[in-house]
Amino acid sequence: MHVIVLGGMARVGKTEVADIIEMEAKMAGFLPLRMSFSTPVKYEVAAQHDYDDPNKFKADMPDVYRKECQKLGAGMREHNPDHWVNKWLEYAKAEQRRETKRASKNGNWEETVLIVDDCRYINELEAVKKFDAVSMFVYAGKRRLEDHDAEWRAHESEELAQRVEAGDEDLTERFSWGLYNDGTQADLEDKLEARMPYLIGEHPERFSDTCKCPECASFRYDIQASELIEGFREALRDIKKDKALDKDIKDRLLELFEEAIDDLESGDVTPRDMFKADWWLSLNPDTEEHNDDDDANNSDP
């Protein structure tokens, strides 16, 4: 069983991302299954209001549904922080047992891809390590979310997402992937298509160590042009203030950073391009000439 966990602020598009992953997993021959961390809470709250189906209760009384889920969820977590996580683990392990007993269809056995689209607490991230889960944080980025100033956003269940969105490095590193959903629908679909083999477990990396090179890291965490531009502009300010720096070197550095900013702003260069060794070498006009000289010196007589 392969597990995919999505985090992010409410209304950022986690469900939409999960929908696309579910569709792609099915097309790839897997058996996708949605099982949120809040599934046990939802069923208990629905039962308290005489509903068998939590979705029906949510559709009929959305405000009551949200408040009751938060109230019950927080109440049980206060008594035992791992109460709902343990409930979810029971559900997930039961599904894993069913998977091992499931008969193949037409001679092909379907692996379950468990999709969880509501990771809100650190202990949930810790729990899914039991399944070697893929975890992805969906960023709002420059997009203003619906109900961005709603009272319920102050609830504890939003704290983890807000801190990651704000750039908390320790929490950010707990997610194995990052994805910015602040463009068009086509942008989101293109990003997910490029990452899909990794997300649903088709890529060989699933069974090996994760590549830590800068280029792969920029892809894995969806590094944004705005992040690099901000860093380059800060570097420009520092270079201009450095009185000890040789004038020729300073002028060359200023030129290089300004060109890099222009390339990013125009879209001629992507953030991922900048994490490739070849791109950095291309900034030095002497590199090619130097390499040619080395080749000539090292050639056989």
Q: Is residue 106 part of a domain?
A: yes
Asked if residue 126 and residue 51 are part of one domain, the reply reads yes
Asked if residue 200 and residue 242 are part of one domain, the reply reads no
Q: Is residue 175 part of a domain?
A: yes
CATH of the domain at 74: 3.40.50.300
Q: Is residue 220 part of a domain?
A: no
- Measuring CA to CA, how many Å separate 152 from each of 9, 63, 159, 184? 12, 10, 11, 27
| pLDDT for position 96 | 92
Q: Which two tokens stand for residue 83?
A: 């109460």
Q: Contact at 8 Å (CB) between 19 and 117?
A: no
Which residue range forms the structural domain that includes residue 291? 225-298
d(CA 93, CA 99): 10
- β-pair partners for 115: 4, 34
Asked if residue 43 and residue 161 are part of one domain, the reply reads yes
End-to-end CA distance of the chain: 60
| pLDDT for position 114 | 97
Show which of 179, 213, 247 is a domain's final residue. 213
Asked if residue 176 and residue 91 are part of one domain, the reply reads yes
Task: Name the stretches of the chain with pLDDT < 70.
Answer: 104-106, 277, 279-301
Asked if residue 191 and residue 149 are part of one domain, the reply reads yes
Show which of 164, 193, 213 is a domain's final residue. 213
Q: Is residue 218 part of a domain?
A: no
Q: Contact at 8 Å (CB) between 207 and 250?
A: no
Could you write out the three-class secondary structure of 227-293? HHHHHHHHHHHHHHHCCCCCHHHHHHHHHHHHHHHHHHHHCCCCHHHHCCHHHHHHCCCHHHHHHHH
Asked if residue 30 and residue 168 are part of one domain, the reply reads yes
Q: Is residue 219 part of a domain?
A: no
- β-pair partners for 179: 138
Torsion of CA 225, 202, 193, 29, to 10 degrees: -160
Q: Is residue 131 part of a domain?
A: yes
Number of domains, the chain: 2
**Identity of the amino acid at 200:** I
Asked if residue 240 and residue 178 are part of one domain, the reply reads no
Asked if residue 245 and residue 117 are part of one domain, the reply reads no
Asked if residue 125 and residue 231 are part of one domain, the reply reads no
| pLDDT for position 300 | 47
Q: In 3D, which of 67, 62, 30 has the Cα closest to residue 202? A: 30
Q: Contact at 8 Å (CB) between 121 and 160?
A: yes
Radius of gyration of the chain measured on its C-alpha atoms:
24
Show which of 181, 213, 245 is a domain's final residue. 213
Asked if residue 22 and residue 118 are part of one domain, the reply reads yes
Give the number of other CB atoms < 10 A from CB of residue 212: 8
Q: Is residue 238 part of a domain?
A: yes
Q: Which two tokens stand for residue 272?
A: 């991922």
| Residue 128 DSSP class | G
Q: What is the DSSP string of 149-208?
A: T-GGGGSGGGHHHHHHHTT-HHHHTTSSEEEE--S-HHHHHHHHHHHHHHHTT-SGGGGS
| pLDDT for position 15 | 93
Asked if residue 232 and residue 151 are part of one domain, the reply reads no
| pLDDT for position 189 | 94
Q: Contact at 8 Å (CB) between 158 and 70?
A: no
